[in-house]
Amino acid sequence: MKEACLKEPDLLEQIRSFYDDAIKDSEKDKKYGAYIKESGAILTFKLPLKRDNGELEILEAYRVHHSYHQLPVKGGYRMSADLSPKLVEALAMLSTIKMGVCDIPFGGAYGGVKCNPKLYSAAELEKITRRYTIELSRKGIIGPAIDVPEPDIGTDAKDMAYMKDTYQMLYGNKDINSSAICTGKPPSQGGIEGNDEAWGLSIAHGIQEFLNIEGFCKKYGLAPGLKDKEVILEGLGRRGYWAGKFLIAAGAKIIGIVMSKCGIYSPEGLDFQDAADYYKKNKSFASYTKAKEVLPEATKETIMYKPCDIFIPAQKEMLITINNVDKIKAKLIAEAANGAITYYAQKMLEYKGIPIIPDLILNTGGLAVSYFEWIKNMKHVKLGRLLKGWEKETKCGILRLLGKEEEYKGSKEGPTEKDIVYSAIDDMLHDVVQEVYKMSLDKGISFRTAGYKIAIARIHRMYDDAGFLIQSFHPNHKLSYV
């Protein structure tokens, strides 16, 4: 008999509920509370597509600017059949909060096209992205100083290359910074090597940072460090796949993988790379023979309910809900996907004493590398290029003085762009984790609420220091383009 399911609010209401928790005890935070919850601009438009067979199809597309407290605004560009105005608005608001936690000087935005990219050819997908870029550009919605998209579900580096190329064809002769129109591009198009890995690195390092805190481990009965930790992973996108790679490198083992239509489980540990390669080639685990359990779509969710040290939802929003939270047996949940845990599920997990490292912390590295790419494009020089030679010669000079000639000969090259970015991500994550953990400890609140409080305080400071042009505003005011 099918279990009865309770219907929860949509993701936008979930995020607003988390926001309300963060401001409820502070009159100062409530000052701009109603205003910040609303989106600054919502654009819904039709996108015509001539299919390969000659038929004309009309797609629905969106772009939301949530907050203009910092410019440009920034957020994902998604292609998904599940996309809706409310979902896009929710993800734009979440983007604002994430930028605030990391202290990255962007406002939040989000957008995309409502379609299943698997049903379109490569040529059709290129047309969709190029037309999306043209429509946004014509309306003055995107630009290096206005709104800078990045890839999300259903899009990747090649889509960002199409977006950049289209924008440059339109405005490249007038805007010297036109290559900064988007991030997540291939390195040949002004992107940064290792962009995709940065998201997984951030997840793995974020978990490691918490497991290095003695008080955190003692409170929740966790052994310090990642060595021998049993991990169950949901999703093999750029977050899930690279998180798995970095976690294994740190000594953890992946015992389960849950995908949208299948899952695999082996308590002794999976050959993660073999499993990921198999899924990439076959789009399924149906005939995979190197796992103890191979489950179809109907039962694959049971894998995420198995005992483990760390469960990482890395793909789907609102995966853990009030309807399945009681089945979770993980000792720690690392929320890599956007809004993977609902408001009421979080309350239940807190009651059960299961700690949650929220998305707004674990996504720090991905946001940071996007910021660094934007800086690189705006400055028209590779990260570290100006100081690379000086750093190299300084290091070699020290080694020469120490008489370590062999080391000197092998150290002529300075740090790569990827080395610089990874080092910065590690440093930023450490600072974010320490700041969030301290506030959580001081105020007796969850890590998520602490993160929201930090972000809201930074947004309020921007408004207080700059001042509002119009001091009296309607709390439900929003500017909509239709």
CA distance 384 to 379: 11
Q: Which of 475, 459, 463, 450 is closest to 22 using CA atoms?
A: 450
- Whether the predicted pLDDT of 314 surpasses 80: yes
Pairwise CA distance, residues 332 & 311, whole Å: 6
Query: Averaged over 151-168, what is the pLDDT?
Result: 94
pLDDT tens string 352-404: 999 999 999 999 888 888 998 999 898 887 766 555 554 565 556 555 666 66
Nearest CA-CA partner of 478 in 41, 89, 44: 41
What are 262's strand-pairing partners? 296
Chain Cα centroid distance, residue 230: 23
Per-residue pLDDT, averaged over 245-258, amounts to 94
**CA atoms of 7 and 321, how far apart (whole Å):** 9
What is the rounded CA–CA span in Å between residue 347 and residue 324?
13
For 166-210, the pLDDT digits (tens) are 999 998 778 888 899 999 999 999 998 878 888 899 999 999 999
The Cα 66–Cα 362 span in angstroms is: 21
Query: What is the spatial distance between Cα 66 and Cα 103, in angstroms, rounded to a whole number?
Result: 17
Tens-place pLDDT, residues 449-481: 999 999 988 888 887 777 654 443 333 444 443
- Rounded alpha-carbon distances, angstroms, from residue 101 to 16, 19, 162, 241, 452: 16, 13, 31, 25, 7
pTM, full prediction? 0.86
* Average pLDDT estimate for 261-272: 92
